[in-house]
Structure 1
Amino acid sequence: MGLPVVALVGRPNVGKSTLFNVLTRSRDALVADYPGLTRDRRYGRAQLGERRFLVVDTGGMVEMADGIDEMSMRQVDAALQEADVILFLVDARAGLNVSDQYFSERLRRMGKPLVVVANKVDGLRSDVVTADFHGLGLGEPLPIAAAHGSGMEALQSRLDELLPRADAEAEASGPPGIRIAVVGRPNVGKSTLVNRILGEQRVVVFDQPGTTRDSIDVPFEKDGKAYVLIDTAGLRRRARVSEVIEKFSAIKALKAVEQAEVVIYLVDASEGVTDQDANLLGLVVEMGRGLLIALNKWDGLTGDQRERVRRQIDVKLPFIDFAEKHFISALHGTGVGHLLEAVDLIHRSVVAAFPTSLLTRLLQEFQADHQPPLVRGRRIRLKVAHMGGHNPPTIVIHGNQTDELPGAYRRYLMNAFRAALDLQSVPVRLDFRSSLNPFKGRKNELTERQVRSRRRMMRHVKKKR
């Protein structure tokens, strides 16, 4: 994006994600008193004073990394390679650690601008708790308390000295693109699909449920078009979610769906369509996001298994009959190349706008083909339709007695508008509003007035007699 890059590195649980949230003035990074919470690289736009830059949050550095820790360390190495300045965070309360000395030697050999940041100095004498870190030989340690936002002025001064200047265009621009959230149950291949679309090992992939704990935004371009791909944590049934970390991960995943324009819902075809898939898809439809169903691991199924999965979709997911289905293999890349093409088409439907004249004409045609029912001897009349919003497309319909309109007729109109307007893979919301009757409530008042007038007339006639 043309902005200088600052990488936050250090041992697990030294406060990297907390500092990331302070610098980006957000709560994007998941923070908890739990070592090894962050595993993937997370980017954010930061600003200290007038200086703007990209900040990269990374997983904790470990010496003898294997398994999932090895995958996380590869993410750290990638962040270090692209960084212009490295902030090496240490825990001031824990003091100098053997691992700190080991990693300081490794960082020194990179030859990049490096700042030792001693975090968690709140309530302590900073000159005392940072004394040991002079032994790292990396210059004056910078004391901060990221949780309270203290020490940011000194950090700003240090970064002003070290960071290269960004061009004005890069500073003014924000992360553009269609926001695509990849959602599904744990261990269905979401991170593998994200890496396959990007063409690189951008997020950690490991054969273990719960590998992804936070929602990771990845801006990228394909064929001159900008996108933001969001890898989310796997969502399980609420009764099975016991760890606090998993609860926060689920909240972040649902927030990612809410902020997305298109959702790619990934189903493990080898396990079939589960009740949890139906529940999660219900949430996506309720939020009104454009929806694309990707059935992963399709290449490993027999003909009978594929037919069984198709039947399950018809039986368990009748409410998403409007959504496109793609049969893919995220691991081998089969069918993945067409996903972004489908996303482009869905996004056009998400942001589409239509004139009132067209919507009203269609509404009248739909009523002519299939009239609304009678209510207490009166026909429901729908008169005018106009756009009420986007993402999802919302059509406002004015008429009389709309509160009495049955659900079956509402669904008829919804499907009719979707087909007539060629809205692909997106739920359509209809907002019905009843016209006010100017004479409602005046009948009794007029009758009483007439009675009083008649009584006066009768008294007048009697007097004359």
Structure 2
Amino acid sequence: MSDLPTGYEYDAEPSHDRDDQGPLPVLAIVGRPNVGKSTLVNRIIGRREAVVEDTPGVTRDRVSYDADWAGRAFTVVDTGGWDPDAVGMAALVAAQAEVAIHAADAVLFVVDATVGITDADEAVVRVLRKSGKPVVLAANKVDDQRVEAEAMNLWSLGIGEPFPISAMHGRGTGDMLDAVLAALPEAPPERDAEIGGPRRVAIVGKPNVGKSSLLNKVAKEDRVVVSDVSGTTVDPVDELITLAGRQWRFIDTAGIRRKVKNVQGHEYYASLRTNSAIERAEVVVVVIDASEPMTEQDLRIMNTVEEAGKALVIAYNKWDLVDEDRRYYLEREIDRDLVQFRWAPRVNISALTGRHMEKLVPAIEAALDGWQTRVPTGQLNAFLGRLVAAHPHPVRSGKQPKILFGTQASTMPPTFALFTSGQIESSYQRFIERRLREDFGFVGSPVHVQVRARQKKAKR
């Protein structure tokens, strides 16, 4: 990434570190489309994380999950279906699966026992042999004794004993996982924990605005599938990347559709996982397509981030597609459209060309600093005293509520509790929020003000 300035170092190889241990052994799960790989991933990790649907090709990227079996931790990498005759997007998916094989310590090869050996299965076996990685063969969809007998035919693949399993019901997965542990190397000894671990950055936005291209450019490798077809990313994809001497956990997500209730099938679950990614992130980069007018959907996504109390950075992508004349007017349109999010850092970038990508990390760091800002109680009450003296609350029905005391209840996001003699109008509350920003910054962070009105004592 030659466009980026000196001092920005990139870790081109995907890392599988946890916060408290060295790199975990990596297990790649491969096989042709629709043999039940994602169902098996969910069975191994013990929760429904990987998107599962009967439609082939739902998983498209390499997606990593932490797993544990018999007291040993390892990383599971789910992949898209591997098809040697793939074209278009399917070819990109197959390439991701092949990369996963070479990056893994061992491979779990999944075959549909009810179908038997296909030409695609034999092609995968050739790739596995060439890689030289240890392979465990899982004969999936074995729900009864009759199919189990048919599974034994998979010995003819020549890669070892087939383990008859049912990913759906869990049948036989224990023996298979014992074989997996035998194939994986031992995890390195524990290292000192990094305080807080890598900062978590979620990349969100409408479908097809360039979120995956942005992650690939930051990672300096094709980490996720990029296609002009909207909705290519389904599962959130976590990637540990070193930028400016710090390690970050970037989370690429599926595009947020207009309304979750109108979305069907795997896109419904993908939308839920995107919202979950926002919840577990610390800072959210909302990607907007600069070549198209801003929509209500873009604003709704930013509102979702604000309501979740996360730090916010707004990235206008595809800036290279906007000509000079259009940029002049676009800047003014953006100022008007983002009037309620003026506190969020904004960067104009091109994930395709790398234009101004060096501005992304400083914007993220500024947003995190604002998100964690704490105002001392004495300083806050001095501010409130000056504010109320200059701009007292309006008198309503002959009464004028007073602010008795204020304190910052928490950070991440900054949340203030105001103890008052009566209820404060919402417009005055927003005025206080605005003045808090003017005096203390809080760049890139929502600011929440909670009013706690004094209760009148009941007359005896």
Cα drift, residue 240 of structure 1: 9.9
Check conservation: 1:364, 1:383, Cα contact below 8 A. Answer: no
Aligned to 2:387: 366
Check conservation: 1:212, 1:233, Cα contact below 8 A. Answer: yes
In the alignment, is residue 228 of structure 1 matched against residue 245 of structure 2?
Answer: no
Check conservation: 2:368, 2:444, Cα contact below 8 A. Answer: no
Aligned to 1:302: 323
Check conservation: 1:265, 1:292, Cα contact below 8 A. Answer: yes
How many Å separate the matches in 1 of 2:309 and 2:260? 25
- Equivalent runs, 1:152-301 vs 2, <5 Å: 152-169=173-190, 176-238=197-259, 241-301=262-322
- Bigger drift between 174-183 and 369-378 goes to 174-183
Among 428, 439, 443, the alignment partner of 1:420 is 439
- Bigger drift between 210-219 and 80-89 goes to 210-219
The 3 A distance-change label for structure 1 pair 152 and 359 is: farther
Aligned to 1:316: 337
Cα drift, residue 154 of structure 1: 0.8
Seq. identity, %: 37
Q: Deviations over 1:211-240 (max 9, x none)?
A: 112211112222331211111112232299
Cα drift, residue 409 of structure 1: 1.0
The 3 A distance-change label for structure 1 pair 174 and 302 is: same
Q: Secondary structure at the match of 1:117?
A: strand
Check conservation: 1:7, 1:80, Cα contact below 8 A. Answer: yes
**Which residue type is aligned with residue 333 of structure 2?**
Q
The 3 A distance-change label for structure 1 pair 366 and 129 is: farther
- Equivalent runs, 1:84-163 vs 2, <5 Å: 84-125=105-146, 127-163=148-184
In the alignment, is residue 432 of structure 1 matched against residue 448 of structure 2?
Answer: no
The 3 A distance-change label for structure 1 pair 420 and 125 is: farther
Q: Secondary structure at the match of 2:254?
A: coil
How many Å separate the matches in 2 of 1:93 and 1:218? 35
Q: Deviations over 1:132-178 (max 9, x none)?
A: 21111111111222223332321232123222111221698899311
- Equivalent runs, 1:32-51 vs 2, <5 Å: 32-51=53-72
- Bigger drift between 304-313 and 133-142 goes to 304-313
In the alignment, structure 1 segments of 5+ residues that lack a partner are: 446-465
Cα drift, residue 243 of structure 1: 3.6
Aligned to 2:30: 9
Cα drift, residue 121 of structure 1: 1.5
Q: Deviations over 1:107-128 (max 9, x none)?
A: 1222211110111222444641
Q: Deviations over 1:5-33 (max 9, x none)?
A: 11100011112112222322333221222
Cα drift, residue 265 of structure 1: 1.1
Aligned to 1:441: 458
How many Å separate the matches in 2 of 1:148 and 1:361? 63
The 3 A distance-change label for structure 1 pair 265 and 137 is: same
Aligned to 1:455: none
Bigger Rg over Cα = 1
Cα drift, residue 81 of structure 1: 0.8
Check conservation: 1:3, 1:170, Cα contact below 8 A. Answer: no
Cα drift, residue 385 of structure 1: 1.8
How many Å separate the matches in 2 of 1:39 and 1:396? 46
The 3 A distance-change label for structure 1 pair 52 and 351 is: same
How many Å separate the matches in 2 of 1:23 and 1:384? 53
**Which residue type is aligned with residue 131 of structure 1?**
M
In the alignment, is residue 385 of structure 1 matched against residue 406 of structure 2?
Answer: yes
In the alignment, is residue 376 of structure 1 matched against residue 376 of structure 2?
Answer: no
The 3 A distance-change label for structure 1 pair 170 and 130 is: farther
How many Å separate the matches in 2 of 1:171 and 1:341? 27
Cα drift, residue 59 of structure 1: 0.5
The 3 A distance-change label for structure 1 pair 226 and 407 is: same
**TM-score of the aligned structures, taking structure 2 as reference length:** 0.90
Cα drift, residue 205 of structure 1: 0.9
The 3 A distance-change label for structure 1 pair 173 and 392 is: closer
**Which residue type is aligned with residue 104 of structure 1?**
V
Q: CA RMSD in A?
A: 2.1
Q: Secondary structure at the match of 1:115?
A: strand
Cα drift, residue 208 of structure 1: 1.7
**Which of the two has greater helix per residue?**
1
How many Å separate the matches in 2 of 1:266 and 1:158? 43
How many Å separate the matches in 2 of 1:22 and 1:362? 55
Q: Deviations over 1:253-288 (max 9, x none)?
A: 222122211111111111121222122222222222
Among 348, 351, 362, the alignment partner of 1:341 is 362
**TM-score of the aligned structures, taking structure 1 as reference length:** 0.89
Check conservation: 2:351, 2:357, Cα contact below 8 A. Answer: yes
**Which residue type is aligned with residue 116 of structure 1?**
L
Check conservation: 2:138, 2:162, Cα contact below 8 A. Answer: yes
**Which residue type is aligned with residue 280 of structure 2?**
Q
Check conservation: 1:89, 1:118, Cα contact below 8 A. Answer: yes
Check conservation: 1:360, 1:383, Cα contact below 8 A. Answer: no
**Which residue type is aligned with residue 166 of structure 1?**
A
Check conservation: 1:291, 1:425, Cα contact below 8 A. Answer: yes
**Which residue type is aligned with residue 334 of structure 1?**
R
Cα drift, residue 357 of structure 1: 2.7
Cα drift, residue 394 of structure 1: 1.2
How many Å separate the matches in 2 of 1:172 and 1:341? 25
Aligned to 1:461: none
Q: Deviations over 1:368-414 (max 9, x none)?
A: 22111223322211122222233322111111212xx2222111111
In the alignment, structure 2 segments of 5+ residues that lack a partner are: 1-16, 18-22
Q: Secondary structure at the match of 1:229?
A: strand
How many Å separate the matches in 2 of 1:35 and 1:391? 41
